[in-house]
Amino acid sequence: MNITDNTVWIQNGSTVAGGNGRGSQLNRLSSPHGITINDNAHVIYIADSGNDRVVKWKYGAKSGEVVVGGNQLNELNFPVDVLLDRKDNSLIICDQGNRRVVRVSLRNPAYQQIIISNIHCYGLAMDNSESLYVCDCEKHEIKQWRKGEIDGIVVAGGNGIGNENDQLNYPTYIFIDEHYSLYISNSNNSHILKWLKGATRGMVIAGRLGQGDYNTQFLHPRKLILDRRGNLYIADSGNHRIMRWLKNQKFGSIVVGGNGNGQQSNQLHDPVGITFDQQGNLYVSDSANHRVQKFNIGVN
């Protein structure tokens, strides 16, 4: 992914999934949240939260295909994140409404496995050792499940709701780097925490306590991605924009959006999920517009 500190994106996005209003038809989405891409298969997987399903949307397609959906034992209830496990060709899904995390085989979607139960989950991440990390926004903590283990351990937060750096306040999405440091969207405190492996408290590295729309603030941050240069990209949901925060900087810059909430091609409305393809194009689940937008990478 050829992204530098100075990379820009075309400000007018194109709709690559949904965009036909809210609905349950296969050419529509309802409050999409987490998204992930399989570049090799030219497919976007979307947690179509309001429709209680995960859909697969091929590049250039006019409608999606249901991978799994509903709220029966083998189905879903308001899924909010989806993670592609390439090693065994499966999706790991945060099935928030059913308080569980499930694994769905892409070879045989009828084969599903409940891997974590009784958790008010939100965001998911997986490290190089195939340990799974899950945001528990009800207990205000991040838990780790090592591969093959049944019981998870608290690796961030777990000290009740609060504003101190050893506490979290409704964590939503997470990213883990190659050094096993966690980056946490501490949503109701409107900042991003970096939590080193084994640490008992985090460090605020983006945003500050208190909500706002300045370039030093967030309003309910959601999905975040760390690039190879150590720069953060954050879906600043309440401010309807995607922000970039360069490493060790005290302020961010708007990547796309930030033009008020709306349906125009240069606007977003409560963006939640973000991801990049191999070329560096940016994809955003534009949740309140019930669509996924693609912003092409510009010429550096």
Q: For 78-98, how does the pLDDT look when each residue is reduced to its tens digit (9 = 90+)?
A: 999 999 999 999 999 999 999
Whole-model pTM: value is 0.96
Taking the alpha carbons of 34, 39, 40, 43 in that order, is the dihedral positive or negative? Answer: positive
The more confident residue out of 256 and 210 is 256
pLDDT per position as a tens digit, 23-82 = 999 999 999 999 999 999 899 999 999 999 999 999 999 999 999 996 565 689 999 999
Q: Judge whether 131 lies within some domain.
A: yes
Q: Which amino acid is at 52?
A: D
138: left (phi over 0), alpha (psi -120 to 50) or beta: alpha
Helix or strand (DSSP H, E) at 47: strand 43-48
Q: Judge whether 5 lies within some domain.
A: no
pLDDT per position as a tens digit, 181-236 = 999 999 999 999 999 999 999 999 999 766 666 888 999 999 999 999 999 999 99
- Pseudo-torsion of CA 179, 126, 273, 293, nearest 10°? 100
Q: How far apart are CA 212 and CA 106, in angstroms?
A: 41
CB 69 within 8 A of CB 75: yes
Q: Judge whether 2 lies within some domain.
A: no
Total domains in the chain come to 1
* Residue 2 pLDDT: 79
Q: Judge whether 8 lies within some domain.
A: no
Query: How sure is the predictor about 262, in pLDDT bands with cuts at 50, 70 and 90?
Result: very high
CATH of the domain at 182: 2.120.10.30
Q: Judge whether 189 lies within some domain.
A: yes
* Residue 212 pLDDT: 64
Domain that holds residue 51: 14-295
Q: How far is CA 74 from CA 25, 103, 136, 267, in A?
A: 21, 10, 22, 36
244: left (phi over 0), alpha (psi -120 to 50) or beta: beta
> Is the pLDDT confidence value at 101 over 60?
yes
* Residue 151 pLDDT: 92
What is the side-by-side order of every strand in the sheet holding 182-186? Answer: 171-176, 182-186, 191-195, 203-207
* Residue 111 pLDDT: 85
Question: Would you call 261 helix, strand, or coil by DSSP?
Answer: strand
